[in-house]
């Protein structure tokens, strides 16, 4: 199905966040208690201290963590506090590239026919090529 993009009309209609959350939970078939203030604060803190996109990503991952741990409201607050501490202590400006993270160029093998190959085939090749994976 995927997302459908609609043109922006420039008109914003005031929607109560609580109503939005209720409707979204209905559409997503979720039974959830949401601390709107906590989410708004965490979104703002991450966006201000890391970068703009970190706000929604942080709250998404908070929800993912809470769901995977079947967290109660107190545990959600503890998880949010961990995320807040990380965001407030973030010392890398937007665009910072960690020198350890090297983006090697990926060769274009689009002309190669990989029919019949599986992931295991590539894992075997990687093991054979890994000099640190030598048995004594």
Contact 73, 33 (CB under 8 A): yes
Each residue's pLDDT tens digit, 46-95: 999 999 999 999 999 999 999 999 999 999 999 999 999 999 999 887 66
Distance CA(82)–CA(65), nearest Å, equals 12
Structure tokens at 27: 């559409």
Structure letter (DSSP) for residue 115: T
Question: What integer pLDDT is reported at residue 124 of this predicted model?
Answer: 63
Say whether pTM exceeds 0.85. Answer: no
Distance CA(109)–CA(5), nearest Å, equals 32
Structure letter (DSSP) for residue 2: -
Question: What integer pLDDT is reported at residue 71 of this predicted model?
Answer: 94
Burial of residue 21 (CB within 10 Å: 0-12, 13-18, 19+) is middle
Each residue's pLDDT tens digit, 97-115: 777 776 777 788 888 887 8
């Amino acid at each position: 199905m995927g997302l459908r993009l609609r043109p922006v009309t420039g008109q914003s209609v005031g929607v109560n966040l609580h109503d939005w959350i209720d409707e979204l939970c209905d559409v997503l078939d979720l039974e959830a208690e949401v601390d709107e203030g906590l989410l708004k604060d965490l979104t703002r803190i991450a966006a201000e201290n890391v970068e703009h996109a970190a706000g929604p990503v942080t709250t998404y991952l908070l929800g993912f963590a809470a769901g995977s741990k079947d967290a109660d409201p107190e545990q959600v607050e503890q998880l949010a506090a961990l995320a807040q501490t990380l965001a407030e202590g973030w010392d890398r400006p937007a665009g910072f590239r960690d020198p350890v993270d090297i983006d090697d160029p990926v060769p274009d093998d689009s002309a190669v026919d990989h029919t019949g190959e599986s992931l295991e085939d590539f894992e075997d090749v990687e093991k054979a090529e890994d000099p640190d994976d030598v048995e004594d």
